[in-house]
Amino acid sequence: GAGVSQSPRYKVAKRGQDVALRCDPISGHVSLFWYQQALGQGPEFLTYFQNEAQLDKSGLPSDRFFAERPEGSVSTLKIQRTQQEDSAVYLCASSRRGDTREQFFGPGTRLTVL
């Protein structure tokens, strides 16, 4: 596609439910990043993939957060047993390579946990 797409755009979950957020990066982009943006804050790094390999998951806040990119293209961020503090916008970004200057961002998924 022309840009990074994310689905769903909005997700409401009851506390304790599992959710899965999808990211379709720009075709051919090797690198994929996930960020979490809490209300009124800047995005914070969660995890990084180079092709299918998850090279950096230092930003994942707990073991309830899990990300995968099995074929090196589409990525899924899964949050198990959601908590209210997980409410945020989850942004996905891709770039041609890890050291490429520009990261292209998707529109984000706004997750609300009730």
Partner 1 sequence: AQKITQTQPGMFVQEKEAVTLDCTYDTSDQSYGLFWYKQPSSGEMIFLIYQGSYDEQNATEGRYSLNFQKARKSANLVISASQLGDSAMYFCAMRAYSGAGSYQLTFGKGTKLSVIP
Residue selected from 44, 64, 73, 74 as contacting partner 1 according to rule CB under 8 A: 44
Nearest to 112 by CA among 96, 93, 97, 90: 90
Question: For the chain, how far is it from start to end, CA to CA, in angstroms?
Answer: 33
Single residue of 27, 70, 84, 102 touching partner 1 by CB under 8 A: 102
Task: Tell which positions 62-91 bind partner 1, by CB under 8 A.
Answer: 89, 91
SS3 26: coil
Residue 14 within binding range of partner 1, rule CB under 8 A: no
Tell me the C-alpha distance between 59 and 44, whole Å: 8
Q: Give residues in contact with partner 1 (CB under 8 A).
A: 31, 33, 35, 40-45, 48, 50, 55-56, 58-59, 89, 91, 93, 98-108, 110
